[in-house]
Structure formats: C-alpha cells, structure tokens
Amino acid sequence: MICLEQITTIRGSGGEAQEGRAMKGLWGGWRQRRVRERAATWHTRLGRGVTAGQRARFEAWIAQPANAREFNAQRALLDVTSELNGQARADVLDSIAGADAHLPRQGRRAWLASGPVWASGIAAAAVIMAVATGWSALRSEGYLPRTYETATGQIRNVVLPDGSVVGLDTQTELEWIGSPSDRRVRLIRGEAYFQVVHDPSRPFRILLAHSQVQVLGTRFDVYQMADGDVRVSVISGTVGVEGLEDSSKSEPSWSRRLTTGQQIEYSPVGLVADVHKVVAPNVIRWRHGMLETQGEPLSAFVSDLSRYTTERIVIADPRAAIQKIGGAFSIRHINGTLDRLSRIAPVTVTHEDGEVILGYRQSPAGPRQYGAATP
C-alpha cells in the first residue's frame, strides 16, 4: 500500500512534476503488485477447485492481456520448479523465498506450500505456487500443455481436459495445447481415434504438421504417417479439414468437409486421395487388436504391421511386395499374423538376427489378391 510517509517524502523533494512522476510510479507499482497477487490467488483457487461462478470470474479476469501475461509467467515459473526433485528443488524454493529474510529458513518451504511467493530482484517479478496438487489440478483443468504417448505395440485410451476421449494407436504422440475456452490438440505422430464432447461454443481442433482438423462433436480417426501423409476418416458426424502448406498465409490452401463414412488422404504438398467413401468401422479395428486391409500391396500392409512390433520386417523379393492382401489380421500376435500370411499368400517368412525376412514363393497362378477370413 502507499503510505503517508512516502507521499510526504515525495512532496518535499523536488516540486510538483517530480511529485507527479513519483506518484505515477508508486501507483503503477501498486497495480502491478495487485495483478501478481491476484494471479497467485487464482493459481491457489484453481488448485483447490472452483465453482461455476468463480470459473466465470476467472475467465473475465484472464481475458485482460496484463492479467494473462502475469498468470502465464507464474505458470512458467511453477513449471520449472515442479519439474525439479530433491535438493535441486529445495535450493530453488529457498532462493525464491530469500526476499523474506524475516522468515526462519526452516519455515520458508512451508510458506511456499501455503500461498503466494514473492521472488526478489529485478528479474523475479512473478509469483509462483509450488504445490504439487495445485500443479496437477491446473493440468487437469486444461490450462497447461499435456503430452500423451504410446510405445510400440501399445494401445490406450486417454481423457482430455475437456472430457473428450481419445484412443491412441501404437507409436502415437498427442499433446493437449488448449485451454478451457479453446479446445486444441497437436498430433505429433501416429494414429488417434477421437470421441469429441459436443460443444458448439468451443470447436475442437487437431493441429498437424501442414493441416488442421476442426469439429464440434463427432467420432473420427486421424493417422499421421511417418512420411508426412495424413488420413482422416469420419465414423460419425462432420469434420472440416484444411491444408496449411504455407504458414505465411492466413487462408488455407485447400479445405474439405467430410461426413459419416467418408475419408480423405493428403500429403504436405496437397491431396493424395480426395473425399471418398470408406467402411468406417474397419478403419478403427486397431482399437480391438485387428489390422484391416482391403486389397493393399504387401508392402503397404507390412508398413502398417511394422508399427506394432520392435522387430524389423523386410521384404526381400519385389515379387512378394506386389502381392495383394485383404482381410483382418491380429496386431497383438505378430508372429501368428506372419505365419497366417505365409499360408494364404505366396510369401515365405524367415526370422534372422532380430529381423523378419519376407521372401517370395513361386505361385503358378501369378499375382492375385489373397484374403484372410475376418474373425
């Protein structure tokens, strides 16, 4: 607060102009401290849970640019602190509390865990709350980025902060980069099946390397392949897809609208296969441990199958690579799938030094499509 002694000192030290500048500086400093204090208070409240009314007040408060900057600055400091462990974390927290020498050293960490913390020095203008539960709550509220991953052969379901459910296929990485008012994720690699909570006031966006998918509430599958190509399949509802090849332009280079049972495939430089019909449920059979293929060359089938095993699968003979494969195959038992493949197609399977070698077995009938019975 501005006290009477400060005002008296200013008035007696250099005239009306100096008094005005000093008063302006004091007022600005007081306002800045109020913003910091309020941001720290919101960190604390969000960590403990808020009512609908408090949520509305927070949204109104953070809509002001100065408030948002302070809140994000404190969040960044909290991010750094929360990632530290052991003595390193204790040292950082002690140094942050250093400005308040009146507190006993043993009591500073308890103070840090109970309320706002003022950092000393010119560069330490932000306040943080080093409370692990509060940090986790902020993540769950959707204000902080969060990454979800799967290992080779792993399939899992995750719930995003907005309540939408995402099934992650093998070797997939997804990042929540949104907020309660802006539902947004980034698919870094792999394949994901989205069941988006319907909310017309908050469109749900999936950002990819050179495109964007936007929905209001629907079920769809997005597969970002290793070569950069993307395949979007709509199980139900409507999805908008935009190409963003040139990031310097505000307008998309192309856009398409897909509805139930439609699919599109595109590369970083344009469309590969425009909107077409597809048997939508077959696209997401991976969620049930099956890989569906419809007359694809063995080379394409092996490319998909390889995502589910740490063993390298090599096609040694180009005649095997062009064989057409159709049907449903298990992705939970790769060796069984390979054995099955060798029985239904002119393909040999050999295991050598951690690799699987696929060869060609002469067939008098020549190239044709080989199918596996759908379980």
| Predicted pLDDT of residue 79 | 53
340 within 8 A of 354, measured Cβ to Cβ: no
Write down all domains in the chain, each with its CATH number in brackets.
4-139 (no CATH), 145-282 (2.60.120.1440), 289-372 (3.55.50.30)
Arithmetic mean of pLDDT, 84-106: 48
Tokens standing for 244? 């963003």
Arithmetic mean of pLDDT, 74-79: 60
67 within 8 A of 75, measured Cβ to Cβ: no
Phi/psi at 151 (nearest 5 deg)?
-85, 175
| Predicted pLDDT of residue 21 | 57
| Predicted pLDDT of residue 365 | 55
Count Cβ atoms below 10 Å from residue 300 Cβ, excluding itself: 14
pLDDT reading at 121 higher than 50? no
CA atoms within 13 A on the CB side of 375: 12
Query: Position of tokens 């595109």?
Result: 266
| Predicted pLDDT of residue 115 | 41
Share of the chain above pLDDT 70, in %: 66
Tokens standing for 332? 């939970």
130 within 8 A of 93, measured Cβ to Cβ: yes
Please write the tens of the pLDDT for every residue from 217-233.
Answer: 789 999 999 888 999 99
CA distance 156 to 179: 23
Identify each DSSP E strand in 209-354 by its residue range. 211-215, 219-224, 230-236, 238-243, 254-259, 262-267, 270-277, 290-297, 312-315, 324-330, 347-352
| Predicted pLDDT of residue 12 | 47
| Predicted pLDDT of residue 11 | 46
Structure confidence at residue 86 as a pLDDT band (50, 70, 90): low
Task: Enter the DSSP assignment of 89.
Answer: H
SS (H, E, C) 118-132: ECCCCCCCCEECCCH
> Pairing between strand 183-195 and 204-207?
parallel
291 within 8 A of 305, measured Cβ to Cβ: yes
* Alpha-carbon torsion (257, 259, 264, 267), positive or negative: positive
- Report angle CA 158, 164, 165 to the nearest 5 degrees: 35
CA distance 203 to 214: 7
Phi/psi at 26 (nearest 5 deg)?
-65, -40
Please write the tens of the pLDDT for every residue from 250-267.
Answer: 688 889 999 999 999 998
Share of the chain above pLDDT 90, in %: 39
SS3 154: coil
| Predicted pLDDT of residue 299 | 93
CA 368 to chain centre: 42
Nearest to 143 by CA among 215, 74, 212: 74
pTM of the prediction?
0.61
Arithmetic mean of pLDDT, 50-74: 76
326 within 8 A of 372, measured Cβ to Cβ: yes
Please write the tens of the pLDDT for every residue from 263-282.
Answer: 999 988 888 899 999 998 88
Task: Enter the DSSP assignment of 179.
Answer: B
| Predicted pLDDT of residue 51 | 77
CA distance 256 to 240: 6
Segment among 226-240, 244-258, 332-346 with least mean pLDDT: 244-258
Length of the chain equals 375
pLDDT reading at 375 higher than 70? no
Distances (CA, A) of 227 to 168, 266, 268, 270: 19, 11, 9, 14
Arithmetic mean of pLDDT, 53-71: 78
Edge-to-edge strand list for the sheet holding 347-352? 312-315, 355-360, 347-352
Q: Which long-range contacts (CB under 8 A, 24 or more apart) does 78-85 make?
A: 78/43, 78/128, 78/129, 78/130, 78/135, 78/138, 79/144, 81/128, 81/130, 82/130, 82/132, 82/135
Q: Which residue has the higher pLDDT, 39 or 238?
A: 238
Phi/psi at 226 (nearest 5 deg)?
-60, -30
| Predicted pLDDT of residue 38 | 83
pLDDT reading at 95 higher than 60? no
List alpha helices for 170-231, DSSP H.
none
| Predicted pLDDT of residue 336 | 93
Arithmetic mean of pLDDT, 134-146: 57
pLDDT reading at 122 higher than 60? no
CA distance 176 to 134: 18
Structure confidence at residue 68 as a pLDDT band (50, 70, 90): confident
pLDDT reading at 241 higher than 80? yes
Q: Which residue has the higher pLDDT, 45 or 27?
A: 45
Structure confidence at residue 179 as a pLDDT band (50, 70, 90): confident
Arithmetic mean of pLDDT, 327-335: 92
The top-scoring range by mean pLDDT among 108-112, 176-180, 278-282, 362-366 is: 278-282
